[in-house]
Amino acid sequence: MTGPKTNERPGTRATLRGYHMSASKARVVLNIIRGEDVTTAAEILAGTTREAADVIAKVLASAVANAVNNDDLVAEELYVSAAYADEGITMKRFSPRARGRAGKIRKRSCHITVIVSRLDEDRLEILRAARSAQAAVSRTRRVASSRRRADQQASLNKRENAAELASQQIAEAEAEAAANELATSEELGDETDVVDVATSEVEETDVALDAADETASEDATEETDK
């Protein structure tokens, strides 16, 4: 017993007709996303390097848009229920070969169809639980990241405060050293003045003694002459 025909399968569809690619190349990518929810299918197509992946991603986005706008479905509750590629027209070309022969060139095309449908309740529950767990993990990571940034900022502020305190202490030490140096210089200046006064007094005493000696010697000379 065969299944329903491709044009009778339930769901919302989008079709790209006459794309210049062989159906076998498109089927390789379609087999990967068949049965996946649309979010996972889009992620798979985004990470696939084949040429057909870009085209099929656009067809998938068109099918999801048709389901949302025409059938009032929720995009997060859809999955790829069917995805297939049919043979299109084949353009026949020829290339010249040796001895007047001609080589066949077949430029193939295909019709790509993607059908999306709503997930059943069991898969919806599983998907919602997985998304809730993922959201909780993301929330935990955001909280941890914010705490880490707060700790880094607190550490930076502490370092800045320590550096500012150290600079203040250095400035106070320099000011105190300058004050001590000034006081020392003033004390040395006072002592110098005292020494100068004492020296001047000693010089005056020496002058007086010299004058007295001269006077005594003159008196002694006069007495001798008499």
pLDDT reported for residue 193: 61
In whole angstroms, give the CA distance from residue 7 to residue 22. Answer: 21
pLDDT reported for residue 105: 92
pLDDT reported for residue 38: 92
Listing DSSP states for 175-220 in one string gives: HHHHHHHHHHHHHHHHHHHHHHHHHHHHHHHHHHHHHHHHHHHHHH
CB 26 within 8 A of CB 85: yes
In whole angstroms, give the CA distance from residue 71 to residue 118. Answer: 11
pLDDT reported for residue 226: 55
CB 33 within 8 A of CB 57: no
Residue 21: how many other CB atoms lie within 10 Å = 17
Which phi and psi (to 5°) does residue 11 adopt? 125, 180
CB 15 within 8 A of CB 113: yes
In whole angstroms, give the CA distance from residue 127 to residue 122. Answer: 9
Segments in the chain below pLDDT 70: 1-8, 185-198, 201-202, 206, 216, 218-226
DSSP structure class, residue 21: S
User: Which tens digits make up the pLDDT trace of 196-213?
Assistant: 666 776 677 767 777 777
pTM score: 0.58
CB 11 within 8 A of CB 117: yes
Residue 144: how many other CB atoms lie within 10 Å = 10
Q: For residue 220, give both structure tokens.
A: 């002694």
Burial of 117 (0-12, 13-18, 19+ CB in 10 A): buried
pLDDT reported for residue 1: 42
